[in-house]
A and B are shown apart, each in its own frame.
Chain A
Amino acid sequence: MKKTICFYFQLHQPVLLRRYHFFDIGKRNDYFDEYMNRSMIRRLAEQCYLPANYLMLELICRHGDRFKISYSISGLALEQFELHAPEVIESFKKLAATGNVEFLAETYAHSLSSLSPTGEFESQVRRHAGKIETLFGQRPVTFRNSSLIYSDEIGERVFNMGYKTMLTDGAKHVLGWKSPNFVYESATRPGLKLLLKDSRLSDDITVNFSNRKWNEYPLTADKYVQWLQGEATGHEVINLFMNYETFGEDQPAGTGIFDFMRHLPGRILDTTDFECLTPRETVEKHQAVAPLHVPYPISWTDEERDVTSWLGNELQSTAFEELYRVQPRVQALDDPGVNETYLRLQASNHFYYMSTKLFSDGDFFTHRSPYDSPYEAFINYMNVLSDFLIRVNRI
């Protein structure tokens, strides 16, 4: 039986807040930095999304049904494409029309709502599925949570919404001696199949590719296929889960990342050991080999592979509690403007910027946050949230 290679790419961009002063509270409700968001989306569209999409189209044209991929695009990203870069939507529509692309379900705002007991999680997943169906003509059947966050409890909620497949991380502290390269199933909802990220092979592309100090530099498609073959021995599935920004942003075009990706599928398919399938096809083909117990939430982030990047300190938990405390009120109001803002404020990025965990690692922070420090991120977010709460309670 052929081994399965499953490509999945994630796209999400938060709507960034503008500098919102405390003396604006109660007076202004333009929270977002239109200029910054627009220029960021434009830049990413030109450097990454459009060239990467054209490349994927080219690969599908060349290899036909033998090359399949999947995307998870947050609702906030889609909205921003519609506003600032509609050609990105058009090129995704073309990809959708090939029939070789699966679009996954997720929370609309790439939010942490799965960690809140409110109905916000389910509501966002529904909203997102509707958006995908409207744009790309397919109803998602596979679920992927923000940053692959998963626990038994989240699995149950996802299963209860009717999803039979979910993606998450092959976190070592959960897998132990087990390999991520099989299909697993939820221990509490055996009907829910789990696909686990192969971190090493995925990160060789997303992180190591252009690292000249890496002893495997430079990485070629031939070398990579040898690794895939080695990894596939005795296993069934290799899940290559990546940020789409790998192509052209994290790994700039000059590193040769596009050329690498242009040749990779051909080399994979040449071996005849492999086939490329979408997540839905992968679980149709492979049986779950074992149940997976995940009592505490895991994610694909940091060494710890947990949720402490978003909810690891008191700043984050305070902001999180305040944000979800108002959920019933927002839901009851059901005001389109309020809903839109509420979704934008839920993007997990806002919480990530408040993390003090890796703050001492200066470089790390400056490259991933629009703020100078988690304290500034918190102050600005709380000022905005304070105004939002006033607004919601005033209506």
Chain B
Amino acid sequence: MKTKVLMFGWEFPPHISGGLGTASYGLTKGLAKHGVDILFVMPKAGGDEDQSAVKIINASDVEMMEGFDHGEDYWEFVRFIEIGSNLVPYLDPELFEKEDSGAIKTGDARERVTLRGKYPFSGRYGINLMEEVARYALVAGTIAARQEFDIIHAHDWLTYTAGIVAKRVSGKPLVVHVHATEFDRSGENINQQVYDIERQGMHAADRVIAVSNLTRNIVIKHYGIAPEKVVTVHNAVDFQSYKEMKVERGVPEKVVTFLGRVTYQKGPEYFIEAANKVLKYYPDVRFVMAGSGDMLNRAIRRVAQLKIATRFHFTGFLYGDDVQRMFAQSDVYVMPSVSEPFGISPLEAMRSGVPTIISKQSGVSEVLVHSIKVDFWDIDAMADAIYGLLAYPALSRVAGREGLEEVDRLKWENAAWKIKCLYEEITGA
């Protein structure tokens, strides 16, 4: 018999703002290949999602708490789900600007809340995120009561509460999938409310899937989850829609690229210091920091201070094809992340044939062999690796070629197979 999964996500292509949507998509396609049926619930569907592998349920179309009377159940859920919050758990600067231009909500949201009817989710990571998270959970209860399924699968903290409610309503087992933890997003200065939701979700789950051993260890250490309950399933990557891109280079020099949010988590300052060391000995090179974030101004100041600004460039946030265009112009890609649950961008670079340097503090370093791995803080090692890839053509040829082959071997089918087996183990199928 086919396993039927009620899956809660937050985003799904084409409407994505981060890696979570891409991962959800790849994973569901892989599961479909192994004959798993998936009902994929998301806060706000655009109607243009690829439904070949999943059936999408748009939470914005579902009446909240329909089918529940005002009896015990109803009030239990209302108590369980705390509604209304002005917390901003994590925002991209771009997103923040947009949100900010609208009115910042004031007053106690609790007063304005109705628990009946449809709720127009934004599906973003906006200022009323906590409210959306809670309402999403209420919708989840309705969906769980209506639908037939064998197991519940919830992606990241935004959907954990939904997963818990669905489990309570249906009595079916719950799997939560940890793509990132609050510790990765915020270092040690964690948002307590997000942490509490994450912890609650992991404890309520029958199994926790972590995207890397690095993340698995955080789940065990910081959330107090029993090791035997936590399974690592590494992410993969789907290049089906990949198209080769020929880009004419504007500069004769080689280009070393950092691409990602310019935040503490991504380690931009280590990249700058390494660049400074390399430039002293290898002047024919340019460094590019592509992305935006709360450390961008500091990064620019440091580059000016080191007097390398004619060789070190900032692009700001890159949209759409510009990302791939950037890879196509790069000779070396560096991901110096301080903490990276997985990290898909080096795989994209490798797909473009670009040799990569990644930090050992990234989940992706557990699956990659043909990438040079350094500790994020080890600026000398990072500089050595950059220099090596610039100065010794044989190295960049071999690393580029082997890396491309390696990345082509990482398939969502394999990750999905592990998850399918996990489903069967839990449901006893």
Contact = CB atoms under 8 A, between A and B. Distances in A.
Given A23-B280, A379-B388, A373 B394 contact: no
B384 A314 contact: no
Contact of A373 (B372, B383, B391, B397): B372
A22 B395 contact: no
Contacts of A383: 384, 388
B391 A22 contact: yes
Interface residues of B, number: 23
Contacts of A382: 388, 391-392, 395
A375 B384 contact: no
Quick one: which of B280, B394, B395 has the most chain A CB within 10 A? B394
Nearest to B386: A22
Contact of B398 (A23, A314, A372): A314
A373 B384 contact: no
B399 interface: yes
B373 interface: yes
Nearest to A372: B373
Contacts of B372: 373, 375-376, 379
B327 interface: no
A4 interface: no
Interface string B374-396: 00000010011101100110110
Contact of B388 (A317, A359, A360, A375): A375
Given A22-B391, A375-B372, A356 B398 contact: yes
Contact of B384 (A21, A313, A317): A21
B281 interface: yes
A318 B384 contact: no
A379 B398 contact: no
Given A21-B380, A21-B383, A22-B388, A314 B369 contact: no
Which of B369, B380, B391 has the most CB atoms of chain A within a 10 A radius of its CB?
B369
Interface in A1-41: 21-23, 25
B392 A379 contact: yes
A379 B397 contact: no
Given A21-B383, A313-B398, A359 B369 contact: yes
Is chain B's binding surface mostly helix, strand, loop or mixed?
helix
Contacts of A356: 370, 398, 402
Contacts of A376: 372, 385
A375 B388 CA distance: 9
Contacts of B384: 21-22, 379-380, 383
B399 A375 contact: yes
Interface residues of A, number: 23
A372 to B, nearest CB: 6
B277 interface: yes
Contacts of A21: 380, 383-384
Interface string A360-395: 101000000000110110111011001000000000
Contacts of B391: 22, 382, 386
A375 B395 contact: yes
B394 A22 contact: no
A356 to B, nearest CB: 6
B358 to A, nearest CB: 11
Contact of B394 (A25, A318, A360): A318
A379 B394 CA distance: 10
B394 A314 contact: yes
A50 interface: no
B281 A22 contact: yes
Contacts of B278: 22
Given A22-B281, A23-B280, A378 B383 contact: no
A23 B388 CA distance: 11
A313 to B, nearest CB: 6
A59 interface: no
A86 B379 CA distance: 40
Contacts of A22: 278, 281-282, 383-384, 387-388, 391
A315 interface: yes
A317 B281 CA distance: 25
A23 B280 CA distance: 9
Interface centre among B280, B384, B391 (most CB of A within 10 A): B384
Interface in B346-383: 369-370, 372-373, 380, 383
A373 B406 CA distance: 15
Contacts of A318: 392, 394
Contacts of B383: 21-23
Contacts of B395: 315, 375, 378-379, 382
A25 B277 CA distance: 13
Contacts of B397: 314
Interface in A50-67: none
A152 to B, nearest CB: 29
A317 B397 CA distance: 13
B364 to A, nearest CB: 15
B281 A23 contact: yes
A360 B372 CA distance: 14
Contacts of A373: 369, 372-373
The CB with the most chain B CB atoms within 10 A, among A317, A356, A386, is that of A356
B389 to A, nearest CB: 8
A386 B384 CA distance: 13
B394 A23 contact: no
> Closest 6 A-B residue pairs measured CB to CB?
A379-B388, A318-B394, A22-B387, A314-B394, A375-B372, A314-B398
Interface of B: 277-278, 280-282, 369-370, 372-373, 380, 383-385, 387-388, 391-392, 394-395, 397-399, 402
10 contacts: A22-B391, A23-B277, A314-B394, A315-B395, A372-B373, A375-B385, A375-B388, A375-B399, A379-B372, A382-B395
Interface of A: 21-23, 25, 313-315, 317-318, 356, 359-360, 362, 372-373, 375-376, 378-380, 382-383, 386
Given A22-B281, A375-B399, A378-B392, 16 more contacts: A21-B383, A22-B391, A23-B277, A23-B280, A314-B394, A314-B398, A315-B394, A318-B394, A356-B370, A356-B402, A359-B369, A372-B373, A373-B373, A375-B385, A378-B388, A380-B384
